[in-house]
Amino acid sequence: MTDKKHSPFATGLLKAAPTQTKMAEAEKQLQKVQKKQQSTAAKQQKQQKVEQQIAITGKPFWWLMTMFVCSVVYLFPEAVFNAALTDVAGGRNSSHDDLRAVELFGRTISGIGVTLLLADMLLTGKRVARVGAALGYFSLIAILVWPTVFFGQKWLVDKFIIDASTPAERQQAYISQVLRSALIEKSIQFEGINYDPDTAHSSTEKAFLSVFGGLVYADDKLVDDLSQKKRMIMEKFVRDRAMSNFDTHYQDYDEFRQTLRGKYQEYADGSAKYNRAIASSPERSDEYWLDTQNQVKQGWEKYQKGVTAYEARVESRAQKIAPKIYDYFERRNKCKERKGSSRNSCYERLQENYDREIKKLSIPYIPADDWLIREEISTSENVGNSIIAGVMTFGLFTAMQAVDAATGGDAGLKDHRMVYTNDVNHYKNVLMVKMEPNFIKESGGYPLGITSLHTFRVHELTSIKVNKKLKQKGLSLPTAWSITDRLTFDKAVASKVRQQADIEWRKNMRAKNTDMPPNLSWQQFQRHHEIQQRIAKRMGDLYVNPTLADWNNRQFKQQIIEPNIQRKTTEYINVLEAQQAEFADGGKFEATGKSALRATIIPPISMSISLALVLLTVLKLPMKLVELVQAKQAKPKEDKASKPYLKPAITATLLAAIFVVPLSVGGNKYTMEDSAMNYFFEQMEKNDSASVSYALKWLLVTQPLVQPIGTSIDNALNMTRGFHAISEPLDRFDLAVLPEHDEVASTKSTAAKPTLKLPLTVNTNVDNARISVMNIKPKYQAGMLLPPGGYDIKVSAPGHQAVRQWVYLKADQTQFTIKL
């Protein structure tokens, strides 16, 4: 039989003919092949389009778009840097650290800008045909170009401008910076220059102040003329600067003195507590004395209990030993009746038994005869006994007595005899004496026989024991002290109370990072060297020793401001009157001159380059946009071969728009021909070059147009603040590769003079702030001596965000202020 559902014929037919499943699989394979062919065709079409775009513009559309976006993005930080540099170089109270921070930001952005520029120029054709290859080439360019530009700028400036400068150039740069500062403080005025330092600085004023130092630096005649009046200028400049900040300085002083008064109140409260502790000495002495008397009473009670227990033990042993000792003597009397060796053997056996019994009773060994009682014999008894003996011996005993007396004997007359008894009390009394060493040991050294508390109290051992206990409690008494000596005891307690008060006082002072003695008056407190150190730390360069905290504003001016004016004036005059040789390499004012030269020359140069890059990038963006459109449409430009002059013309137009148009169509009060500033430009054209004069004019006109834009961008995006948050590692890396030029000079000087060290002092606005120098092992101390160079300072305090900042220790700058 066959299965109707699975007949042999049907099974073979199904195996031989294609099924619906196999047809579906074949259809899927066909679809895969078609998709692969479509994908290949799409890739080929895309590649052809890319090649067509490269043939038209030299670059694919995606790369042009990438470069366009990068150029737009680059404009933002470059404009922010330009504005920040203007704010610092044209600011009123900008420091070397501010200039360095902006310089670091600018070098970082410049490295990015040059990287984008070279990538845009070099990466064309097949190099950017594929995304992977393009990104690889771009990464290679970035790795090579960014560090080169970042470090190269600094190296070139230091090598060919700063370090290559002459002592005369450094000195003149310093003078120009001083005159610039004097102009800012309105200590000097130039006729025709309408600059008002009391009004808010606009972008035009900031640009003017940025280039003013360079203009003065280029005018030798003006510097020579003003140098003749340098003392008058310096005194007025220093006084104007000091008085312009007088309210701020006095406000800081007033805030600090209020804080100091609060500190003194805490100190006075602590002194009062200290004095109360000292005054409590009599009460403490009474407490110690009462404790001592209780200790004596407890000792007496313990002694009495010990005596009672001792007597009970002795009574028990006496009860046991009395009959045995009595029996021993009875037996010994019987041994006397024996003769010869028998008597001796009797004595030996009896003694052995006696020794065993004594050992069993656990008492000190007592010779047998010590148990005997001495019984006195009266004269009448001796006479009566002699008479009786003489009668009984018919006078023979009497004759023998006479002979014994004649030869010096006692004639048989005895004053006592030893007897034994079975009275338990006798044995108890003997044991009390013989076992007393055990009692003395148990009682801690006290003998038997102390019958009253007074006797126990005045005993020498009681004073020794009490002295030992008191010493464990920290009370120091003489070794020979007696418990009856209360006066010495009171003095010892007073000494301990003072010692404890001193320890507590020093503990509280250490918690406040000070080591001041107690009970200082307000005047003594202010003048204490630690308080003066705190005042000096808070006031920084303004500090005058001593500075008191109860001066009014008039006294503050007389005692602080006036001496500082004289000191700063002298410092400026010393530098201005220094010989040019002192500004040479290795000279006293080398670092000062180089720093002034950097502040004079570098800001205008950096500002001009940055401004040109911003404007050039902005004007090139439309051209890049046109290239994007052409690449997107993939249509070749018409009449390309017939217009070879088009690109040069556009380039020339862009350069003219950047460098010519602003001066041609615009200007401000500092660049007008009838302006007094024109005198400086004319002198520069005579002494240096017309191109530099033109560049500075162009900067004065163009910079005020761009600076507000960069400031607005920074206010919106907080770029400088964001960069500051990540600048620390970059700053350390930069200093590790290329130290500051003045730091290098200091290092060379240190190599020549290994013992040269400078005092480092860091001031802050928070009391008890913790200051650490992160790149050295020694712990920070105000005025610590260190070699000149850069130091990574960290300032922290509870409730404040820690601040970390690099400072540069040099001969003319050893104090730094870091505020939390």
173-192 tens-digit pLDDT: 887 777 777 777 676 766 65
Q: What string of H, E and C letters represents the secondary structure of 110-172?
A: HHHHHHHHHHHHHCCHHHHCCHHHHHHHHHHHHHHHHHHHHHHHHHHHHHHHHCCCCHHHHHH
Q: Would you say 99 and 154 are in contact if contact means Cβ atoms under 8 Å apart?
A: no
- Per-residue model confidence (pLDDT) at position 300: 93
Collapsing DSSP to helix, strand or coil, 217 comes out as: helix
Using CA atoms, how far apart are residues 703 and 86, in angstroms rounded to an integer?
A: 8
- Per-residue model confidence (pLDDT) at position 99: 78
- Per-residue model confidence (pLDDT) at position 237: 72
**Residues pairing with 223 in the sheet:** none
Using CA atoms, how far apart are residues 773 and 791, in angstroms rounded to an integer?
A: 7
- Per-residue model confidence (pLDDT) at position 279: 92
User: How many helices, marked H, and strands, marked E, lie in the chain?
Assistant: 30, 8
- Per-residue model confidence (pLDDT) at position 286: 92
- What residue spans define the domains of the chain? 46-166+203-218+586-738, 292-373+416-472, 378-414, 748-817
- Per-residue model confidence (pLDDT) at position 755: 47
pLDDT tens-place string over residues 418-427 = 888 888 888 8
The bridge status of strand 770-773 relative to strand 789-796 is antiparallel
- Per-residue model confidence (pLDDT) at position 143: 93
- The amino acid occupying position 511 is A
Q: Report residue 251 as tokens.
A: 């406000």
**Residues pairing with 815 in the sheet:** 761
Q: Would you say 544 and 559 are in contact if contact means Cβ atoms under 8 Å apart?
A: yes
Length of the chain: 820
Q: Which of 813, 743, 814, 764 is nearest to 785 (CA)?
A: 814
Using CA atoms, how far apart are residues 435 and 306, in angstroms rounded to an integer?
A: 13
Collapsing DSSP to helix, strand or coil, 636 comes out as: coil
Residue with tokens 């200093």: 735
Q: Report residue 364 as tokens.
A: 């000190």
Please state whether the peptide bond connecting residue 546 to the residue before it is cis, i.e. omega within 30 degrees of 0. Answer: yes
| Residues 298-307: contacts with CB under 8 Å, at least 24 apart | 299/456, 299/462, 299/465, 300/453, 300/456, 300/457, 303/443, 303/446, 303/450, 303/456, 306/439, 306/442, 306/443, 306/446, 307/439, 307/448
Using CA atoms, how far apart are residues 374 and 503, in angstroms rounded to an integer?
A: 67
Using CA atoms, how far apart are residues 320 and 424, in angstroms rounded to an integer?
A: 9
Supply the pTM of this predicted model: 0.57
Q: Please tell me the class of the 748-817 domain.
A: mainly beta
Using CA atoms, how far apart are residues 104 and 642, in angstroms rounded to an integer?
A: 47
Collapsing DSSP to helix, strand or coil, 786 comes out as: strand
The bridge status of strand 815-817 relative to strand 758-763 is parallel
pLDDT tens-place string over residues 613-665 = 888 788 778 877 877 787 777 655 444 444 566 667 776 776 777 777 777 77
- Per-residue model confidence (pLDDT) at position 689: 66
Helix axes of 96-122 and 719-737: crossing angle, nearest 10 degrees: 90
Burial class (CB in 10 A: 0-12, 13-18, 19+), 436: middle
Query: How far from each other are the two terminal CA atoms of the chain, in whole angstroms?
Result: 105
- Per-residue model confidence (pLDDT) at position 639: 46
Report residues of the chain scoring pLDDT below 50.
1-2, 4, 9, 13-14, 16-17, 637-642, 742-755
What contacts 813, CB < 8 A, 6 or more positions away?
A: none
What contacts 494, CB < 8 A, 6 or more positions away?
A: 281, 285
- The amino acid occupying position 719 is M
- Per-residue model confidence (pLDDT) at position 276: 92
